[in-house]
Structure 1
Amino acid sequence: MTKQGFYFNMAACIGCRTCQIACKDKNDLAVGDTFRRLEDYEVGEFPSATVYHYSRTCNHCENPACVQVCPNSAMYISEEDGTVLHDDEKCIGCQYCVKACPYGVPTYIESLQLTHKCDGCLALRNAGESPACVASCPMRALEFGPFDELKSRHPDAVRDIAMLPSSSETEPCTLIGPRPVAVDSAGSEIWF
């Protein structure tokens, strides 16, 4: 199995939210439901304040908390590519995965009474295409592929930045090309 993952180039991201919109559109999500969420953080104070953006989705962790707590094995690790997937037929809507994920990724969809999450656009990938978020990014700030290859291509990338939980909790398969300010300070999330 070749473990798959994401790379996010924080320096290239302009905060346009195209990745978030493409994900919502591809997954036909209702208002309020998201599998990818762009977050904005402000660090410092006037006149030397700065902003950085973080595009958050499932990290397809090596040791996913959502899989560990699922009582029905609805959350599982794909034997084919190591991504963390969800089986609607097994999901009982208990939301244990929602509460367990330190990244706040699984989404409980009230109208279905089921939990859903990013699957790395499995159907698109099976058709030889990139995930919707990756394909839509105008700045090419997102990549998806074999995690070892991403690590080789981006040797300076990190798994830990100040506003995220420690990567030691779940070993996320998301690499970040960080802005230095994001490594040093969590900042305050800006709400629009």
Structure 2
Amino acid sequence: MSRQMAFYVEQKHCTGCNTCQIACKDKNNLSRGERFRQVHAYEGGSFTVENKVIEHNIYAYWVSVSCNHCINPHCVTVCPSGAIDKRAEDGLVLIDSERCTGCRRCLAACPYQAPQFDVTTCKMKKCDFCQDLLKEGKVPVCISACPMRVLGYGELKELQKKYGYANWVKGLPDTTELKPAWVLTPHRDAIDLRKD
């Protein structure tokens, strides 16, 4: 693979407005229930009252997730028709709708639930990194729509050089084996506390 394209999420400034999700849904003319990009909210913590003083340790943060075009994508290996492929020139994981049988094995294999079943065509589809826009020299619609400018994209190695290697935060599924091709600047309450 010559390069690996990836998304960047500056999670610490995401307000959970869902504009990226809505813009993606609109651009791709997705049906009810279909979402190529999903914004997940995580909240928790507790508070105590001591000597009439309330001390709180509560938090809330959001993370915008789409297909992460993983280095080792399980969706590719489970597809019985060979409809899903990891493209060599840019590392994008794409679905060939002509070969797709709509069996939904890719959906079951993806911890991010990135592949979506189209009830109209009975085929699977998912984020293709807005290839049509990239060919026109434009950015993916989720990125251009974000009012907080917390989304970005580029080559994975360049993003890692600039922002670090974080690609997991509390609340997301453990995807160490898949090696998702995305980089996060985590919210302070979402920092990876797993022991290596």
TM-score using structure 1 length? 0.91
Which structure has the bigger radius of gyration?
2
Q: Which amino acid aligns with 2:151?
A: L
- CA distance in structure 2 between the aligned counterparts of 1:100 and 1:54, rounded to whole angstroms: 21
Structure 1 consecutive aligned stretches of length 4 or more whose deviation exceeds 4 Å: none
Which of 174, 182, 185 is the aligned partner of 1:166? 174
CA distance in 2, matches of 1:68, 1:117: 16
Structure 2: 5+ residue stretches without partners: 48-55
In structure 2, the residue matched to 1:131 is 140
SS in 2 for 1:124: helix
Provide the alpha-carbon RMSD of the alignment: 1.3
Unaligned segments of structure 1, at least 5 residues: 186-192
Which is worse superposed, 90-99 or 36-45? 36-45
**Equivalent residue for 1:122?**
131
Equivalent residue of 1:44, what SS?
Answer: strand
Q: How far 1:13 sits from its partner (Å)?
A: 0.7
Cα displacement string for residues 35-61 of structure 1 (whole angstroms, at most 9, x for unaligned residues): 001111112024432110010100000
Determine the structure 2 residue equivalent to 1:103: 112
Give the CA deviation at 1:32: 1.1
Could you tell me which amino acid in structure 1 is paired with residue 130 of structure 2?
C
Aligned residue pair count = 184
Residue 87 of structure 1 is aligned with which of 76, 81, 96?
96
Is 1:40–1:54's contact at 8 Å kept on the other side of the alignment? Answer: yes
Cα displacement (A) at 1:129: 0.7
Contact 2:13 2:187 in 1 (8 A): no
Identify if the C-alpha distance between structure 1 residues 184 and 77 changes in structure 2 by more than 3 Å, giving closer, same or farther.
Answer: closer
Tell me, yes or no, if the aligned pair for 1:52 and 1:182 is still in contact at 8 Å.
yes
8 Å CA contact 1:43, 1:181 repeated in 2: no
C-alpha displacement of 1:165 = 2.3
Identity value in percent: 41
